[in-house]
Each structure stands twice: as C-alpha cells, then as structure tokens.
C-alpha cells in the first residue's frame, strides 16, 4: 500500500511551497517598504533570491524526510524524486529570470516588486504541476502558472505588443484549459476517480469489461473512442503548456510581446513543468512496466504513437517556421517549439531512459535557452529592437555577447562538444532503444530537423561575425549580465564534456509515485 | 441491459437531443409564425422599461473595475468564513489557523492596494 498522508501531516512536507507563498506576499510588502529607496531593484532582487534559496533548502530538507515516494494531502500531491527534481529546476529558472530582470529596462523599477512576487507565485504553480497526481490539482497548478503568466506577459503597460501578447495568451490559455478539463471529465466518468495513481490498472479493467461477452460491439467501440478522446483532450492542455503543434499558435506572439526577461522564463519554466506533467500522466499513470525499463501503453490507448506523431509535427513545423523569421524573439519562439518536439521524443519513448533524457534535456535547455534570450535582452536593451539587422557585426560591438550567443545557438542545434549535443543524444538514444519501426522513423525525422535548424541558427552567427555592423557604437553590457553570460556559457561547455553527474541525477529522479 | 459504462448516460443524451432540437425549433417557428409590425418604439433598444438615451459604447473609468474586483475578493472571503463559523467548534485550532492564514493573505492584498493608492477615488 502506498503511503498517503492527511492534510495536517502533509504540511511538514510542504515547506518549500509554503515558504514561496509567504515569500511572494512578503515581497509585495517589502516592495512598499523600499519604494523610496534608490536601490529598490537591488533590494527586491536580493529578497526574492533569498526566498528562493530558503525554498531550495526546504526542498532538500523535505526530500531527505522521506526516502521513498510519499503521497500528500490525501493523494492530491506527491513527494517523489521526480517532483523534487522539477522543484529544483523551477527555483533555478525563477532565480535566473529575476536576476535577468534587474538590469533590464523592460521591467520598470516601480514594478519590479510585482514582477518578483508574481514570478515566485508561478514557481509555486510549477511545483504543483510537477507534483500533482490528481486531475483537479493538475488543473489548479496549470491555472496558477497560466493566470500569473497572463499578467506578466502584458507587463509593459503602454506597449501595444505586450497587451496583444497578454490577450492572445488569455484566449488560447482559456480554450486549452477548457479542453483539458473537458477531457478530465470524460476520464472521471470512465474511471470513476480524479486520482491518477493506478490509472493503468483501471483502464485495463475498463477495457476488459468492454471486451467481455454481452457488451454490444457498438457500446464497446464507443467506450474505446471515449477513452482515446479523453486522453487526447487532456494531452491538449499539456500540449498547450509545452507549446507543441497544433497548440503552438500563441507562442510566437506571446514571446515577442512579453518583456524579454519573462520570455526567457516562459520558454523554459512552464515548458519544463508541462513536461513533468506529461511524463507523470503518460509514463507514470497510463503505462505499465513491460520488461527491462520499458513501459507499455494500456487498454487500446496508443499514446506513445500519438505523442510520436505530435513530436514529429512539432519539430518540423517549428523548424520550418523559424527559417524565415527576422525577429530574433519570434525565431527563438519557433526554435523553442521545435525543441518541445525533440523533448517529446523522450516522452514518446515511454521508458525509464526516455523520462531520464527528458529531465536531462530540460536542464541543458534551461542554460542554453535562457542564455540565448539573455543576449537578445542585451541587444534589445540598447536598440529596443529584436531585428536580425541589429545583430550584424555584433562581434565588433559586443564581442563577449556575440561569442556567447554563438555558443548557445550551436548548443541549441545540438553540435558537439556542447551540452545541447549531450541532451539530444540521450533523447535519440532513448527512442532508438525501443527499436520499433515508427520510433526509428521519428528519430530520422528528428535528425533531419536538426540539420534544418542549423540553417537559421547559423544565419545569426554569420550576421554576427561576417556582416558589417550598421553602426560602430559599442553596446554597453552591465557587469552582472556579463557574469551571468559567462556562467551560462561555462555550464554549457562543462556539461558538454562532463555530463555523467547530470545523467545520473536525471536517472535517479525517474522515480514516480505509484508507477510500477 | 448489458453492463456498459455508456448506458447511464443515455438519458443525458436524450436530454441534450431534445433541448438542442427545441433551441433550434423555437426561433425558426417564431420567424415563420410570429406577426411582425415594426414601429419606432419597438425597434428602440430595450432598457428595462425606461427611455434609453445615449450610446451603449461609453468608456468607463478603470477604477470601477478595480473596486468591483476588490469587492469580489472580499465577498468571497465572507463566503468562506461562513462555513468555518458554523463548524467553528468541530474544526478547532487547526481550522482557526487555516482561516487566519487565509485572512492574512487577503490582508496583505488589502495593505498592498491601499498603499498603492488603488482605493483613492480622486487621483
């Protein structure tokens, strides 16, 4: 029997989220206290990072309390290595997004407090997404992340594009949440519970009931169709969060309009939480162990194939749409769509190594994608533009940023010896290990896509190093940005060579509550 | 009747079908059967019986929305406080702590909007 705690006992395992919730409110009040201070941004940054550091300490404390997975709040949430991994990842993304925002001119100093506090709230939401095993809790996690993200996307008050981003995000997000809830209502009707632990067994029992003698063929067929429809609808909510095709439409517009520090956050944080959720639903709940570390889907729900098709479509659409973009933020938005496709290959593999490669890739992706958006922020800070025109001859105007950008872009392509190669290699390997014909086909599609992506990444590198700049004016880069760039480049280079620790960390995190 | 998961939903399907048909049929029937004698008064927009004036597309100051939002927040607070008050003894100190945390959350919000000047009517 799996251990599940009641509400009062669960609080001892809920410190990170409680600290962040209290911290978010504290930052709101602290903002009032330092409103007159000339060092307001610095104070707020330090306070928010302090809250996140406390949350990280609390995470390691609660992770140490229970060596085995444990259910919290009567089974609404769980605390297992998978959740702990994504909690750390969420705190890290949030901390970086707050660090980036300080010197950025897009977040005005009088609104920095709101920015930090809202990001802390999103961090709680991402943690809830990664650790929920109940469909209702999943919706609450997704909504918490989405609602606050709408406000943050429209953070530039008098900017039309920012308002457009917020509005489009609200409309798409509302529809996606609605579809997900609708699918969940079907699943609840079919399985009789909102809890996802043991879904595989329930789905099998349901399929067995439909298959038994005395059930009319039409009824059995309708039951199967309802199950597949329910799964597809639930997946569309998750697909919207990770911006996969065909739920990617919001992504370029929102990324373009939102303030760059938040775009950087959005391209990594909620996406990672969405993948944590996807693996928890698909691998953790809806599959059973089928020998070795491979899982098999249950009850006529061909979800690995469905996810495989979505993965192929996502990377192809993302990469081909990115080819012609001249706005760097839009290009990186399509690139992040393509990357959602690559990572979905790890989900479609439906194996322990597949889930491990998803976790591994998301860490690598955090460094290289945040780094890429950081450079976009640096260039946009001076010119206010994200056009590729501004990047011509960047090697003469901001040499370090140009070199760092080249490293991030080649890492995003997946070229060795950078971290992106390591991440991609594990995704492909997990898929090929399954050995089926469609898995091999998908891997080939992924390889061809990587080749396509090299074109638009290299186009920027060419503009930065070979083209003449339109002005000789040097771009002033704040010292903290240079430090951050250096750290991120260092991580991308180091993880490209010494990746064994990271792989082991990701591997030991693939322990999901209730998955056998 | 065979044991099927779809069976219990049959009445629901019938209800949906009937209500859908009615929703489709009533406007169509009204269109063909109803007499239409348009007059100036009839084609005016209906405003609860009083004489309508001006355009409906007026712009409202955003402060109305802020007040409305704040009202909803504290309205919901009372909605949650009532069931707690009824079960005050059964829930004990744990319930008290929970409600105190809930009220404190809203208090922080109130302090923030107050200090930010969202409650100032004339700005």
Kindly report whether the peptide bond that precedes residue A417 is cis, defined as omega within 30 degrees of 0: yes
Confidence of residue A292 (pLDDT cuts 50, 70, 90): low
What is residue B52's DSSP assignment? P
Measured at the CA of A221, the angle between CA A220 and CA A222, to 5 degrees, comes to 90
pLDDT greater than 60 at residue A1: no
Q: Does B52 touch chain A (CB under 8 A)?
A: no
pLDDT digits (tens, 9 = 90+) for A200-221: 778 878 777 777 767 777 777 7
Residue B67 located in a structural domain:
yes
Tell if the CB–CB gap between B3 and A219 is shorter than 8 Å.
Answer: no
Measured at the CA of A425, the angle between CA A424 and CA A430, to 5 degrees, comes to 100
* Confidence at residue A23, expressed as pLDDT on a 0 to 100 scale: 95
pLDDT greater than 50 at residue B1: no
What is residue A34's DSSP assignment? T
pLDDT digits (tens, 9 = 90+) for B109-123: 889 988 888 888 876
What's chain A's average pLDDT?
Answer: 90
Residue B80 located in a structural domain:
yes
Name the more confident of A171 and A190. A171
Average pLDDT over residues A286-300: 63
Q: Does B4 touch chain A (CB under 8 A)?
A: yes
Report the distance separating Cα A463 and Cα A457, nearest Å.
10
* Confidence at residue A328, expressed as pLDDT on a 0 to 100 scale: 93
Q: Does B103 touch chain A (CB under 8 A)?
A: no
**In sequence order, what DSSP letters do the residues of A202-270 get, joined into one string?**
HHHHHHHHHHSTTS-HHHHHHHHHHHHHHHHHHHHHHHHHTT-TTS-THHHHHHHHS-HHHHHHHHHHH
pLDDT digits (tens, 9 = 90+) for A420-438: 999 999 999 999 988 888 8
Give Rg (Cα) of chain B.
Answer: 26
Neighbours of A503 (CB within 10 A): 18
Question: Do strands A70-72 and A295-297 pair parallel, antiparallel, or not at all (unpaired)?
Answer: unpaired
Q: Which residues of A touch B112 (CB under 8 A)?
A: 28-29, 32
Neighbours of B18 (CB within 10 A): 10
Chains A & B: contacts with CB separation below 8 Å: 39
Q: Which residues of B touch A32 (CB under 8 A)?
A: 111-112, 115-116
User: Searching chain B, which residue's CA lies closest to the CA of residue A30?
Assistant: B112
CA distance B24 to chain A (A): 24
Counting every residue, how long is chain B?
A: 123
- B-interface mutation test, from A7, A30, A32, A217, most B Cβ less than 10 A away: A32
pLDDT digits (tens, 9 = 90+) for A236-281: 999 999 999 889 999 999 999 999 999 999 999 999 999 999 999 8
Tell if the CB–CB gap between A25 and B105 is shorter than 8 Å.
Answer: yes
Among B9, B94, B105, whose Cβ lies nearest the Cβ of A8? Answer: B94
Residue B93 located in a structural domain:
yes
Helix (H, G, I), strand (E, B), or coil: what is residue A361? helix
User: Searching chain A, which residue's CA lies closest to the CA of residue B116?
Assistant: A32
Report the distance separating Cα A154 and Cα A58, nearest Å.
32
CA distance A162 to chain B (A): 19
Report the distance separating Cα A267 and Cα A143, nearest Å.
17
Q: How is residue A223 written in tokens?
A: 């039951």
* Confidence at residue A103, expressed as pLDDT on a 0 to 100 scale: 86
Tell if the CB–CB gap between A206 and B6 is shorter than 8 Å.
Answer: no
- B-interface mutation test, from A25, A30, A34, most B Cβ less than 10 A away: A25
Tell if the CB–CB gap between A29 and B111 is shorter than 8 Å.
Answer: yes
* Confidence at residue A371, expressed as pLDDT on a 0 to 100 scale: 95
Among A8, A28, A222, whose Cβ lies nearest the Cβ of B112? Answer: A28
Q: B39-53 as b/e, with b when 16 or more CB fall inside 10 Å? A: eeeeeeeeeeeeeee
Residue with tokens 């940054």: A45
Domains of chain B: total: 1
* Confidence at residue A36, expressed as pLDDT on a 0 to 100 scale: 87
Q: Does B105 touch chain A (CB under 8 A)?
A: yes
Name the more confident of A100 and A513. A100
User: Searching chain A, which residue's CA lies closest to the CA of residue B110?
Assistant: A29
Full domain range(s) for residue B72: 63-116
Residue B99 located in a structural domain:
yes
Report the distance separating Cα A8 and Cα A21, nearest Å.
18
Residue B123 located in a structural domain:
no
pLDDT greater than 80 at residue B49: no
Q: Which residues of B touch A158 (CB under 8 A)?
A: none
Least confidently predicted of A69-83, A179-193, A194-208, A399-413: A194-208
Percent of chain A predicted with pLDDT > 70: 97
* Confidence at residue A473, expressed as pLDDT on a 0 to 100 scale: 83
pLDDT greater than 80 at residue B74: yes
- CATH number of the domain enclosing B77: 1.20.58.1610
CA distance A50 to chain B (A): 20
Q: Does B5 touch chain A (CB under 8 A)?
A: yes
Residue B90 located in a structural domain:
yes
């Amino acid at each position: 029997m799996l251990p599940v705690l009641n509400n009062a006992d669960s609080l001892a395992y809920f410190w990170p989220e409680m600290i962040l919730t209290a911290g978010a409110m504290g930052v709101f009040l602290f903002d009032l206290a330092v409103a007159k201070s000339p060092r307001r941004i610095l104070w707020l940054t330090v306070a928010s990072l302090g809250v996140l550091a406390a949350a990280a300490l609390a995470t390691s404390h609660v992770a140490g309390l229970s060596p085995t997975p444990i259910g919290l709040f009567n089974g609404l949430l769980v605390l297992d290595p998978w959740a702990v991994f994504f909690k750390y990842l969420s705190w890290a993304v949030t901390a970086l997004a707050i660090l980036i925002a300080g010197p950025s001119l897009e977040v005005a100093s009088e609104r920095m407090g709101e920015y930090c506090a809202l990001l802390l709230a999103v961090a709680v939401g991402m943690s809830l997404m990664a650790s929920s095993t109940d469909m209702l809790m999943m919706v609450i996690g997704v909504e918490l992340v989405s609602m606050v993200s709408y406000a943050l996307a429209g953070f530039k008050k008098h900017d039309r594009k920012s308002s457009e981003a917020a509005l489009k995000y609200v409309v798409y997000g509302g529809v996606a949440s609605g579809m997900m809830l609708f699918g969940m209502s079907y699943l609840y009707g079919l399985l009789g519970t909102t809890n996802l632990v043991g879904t595989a067994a329930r789905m099998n029992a349901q399929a067995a009931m439909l298959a038994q003698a005395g059930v009319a063929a039409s009824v059995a067929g309708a039951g199967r169709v309802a199950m597949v429809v329910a799964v597809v609808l639930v997946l569309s909510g998750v697909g919207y969060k990770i911006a996969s095709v065909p739920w990617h439409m919001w992504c370029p517009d929102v990324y373009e309009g939102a303030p760059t520090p938040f775009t950087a956050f959005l391209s990594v944080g909620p996406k990672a939480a969405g993948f944590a959720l996807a693996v928890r639903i698909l691998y953790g709940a809806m599959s059973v162990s089928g020998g070795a570390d491979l899982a098999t889907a249950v009850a006529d729900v061909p979800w690995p194939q469905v996810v495989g098709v979505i993965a192929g479509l996502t990377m192809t659409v993302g990469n081909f749409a990115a080819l012609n973009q001249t706005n760097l933020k839009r290009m990186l938005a399509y690139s992040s769509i393509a990357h959602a496709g690559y990572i979905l290959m790890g989900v479609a593999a439906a194996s322990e190594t597949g889930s491990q490669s998803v976790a591994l890739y998301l860490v690598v992706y955090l460094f290289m994608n945040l780094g890429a958006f950081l450079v976009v922020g640096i260039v946009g800070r001076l010119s206010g533009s994200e056009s590729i025109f501004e990047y011509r001859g960047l090697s003469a105007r901001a040499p370090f940023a140009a070199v760092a950008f080249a490293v991030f872009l080649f890492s995003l392509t997946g070229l060795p010896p950078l971290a992106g190669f390591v991440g991609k290699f594990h995704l492909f390997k997990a898929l090929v290990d399954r050995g089926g014909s469609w898995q091999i086909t998908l891997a080939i599609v992924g390889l061809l896509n990587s080749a396509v992506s090299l074109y638009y990444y290299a186009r920027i590198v060419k503009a930065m190093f070979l083209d003449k700049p339109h002005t000789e004016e040097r771009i002033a880069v704040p010292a903290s940005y240079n430090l951050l760039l250096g750290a991120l480049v260092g991580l991308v280079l180091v993880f490209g060579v010494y990746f064994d620790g990271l792989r082991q960390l990701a591997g030991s995190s693939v322990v999901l509550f209730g998955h056998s | 009747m065979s044991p099927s998961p779809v069976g219990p939903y049959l009445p629901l399907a019938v209800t949906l079908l009937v209500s859908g048909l009615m929703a489709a049929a009533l406007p169509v029937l009204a269109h063909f059967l109803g007499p239409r004698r348009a007059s100036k008064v009839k084609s005016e927009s209906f405003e609860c019986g009083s004489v309508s004036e001006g355009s409906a597309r007026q712009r409202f100051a955003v402060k109305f929305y802020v007040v409305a939002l704040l009202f909803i927040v504290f309205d919901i607070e009372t909605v949650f406080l009532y069931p707690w008050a009824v079960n005050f003894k059964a829930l004990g100190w744990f319930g008290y702590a929970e409600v105190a945390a809930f009220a404190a959350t809203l208090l922080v919000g109130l302090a923030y909007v107050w200090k930010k000047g969202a409650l100032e009517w004339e700005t």
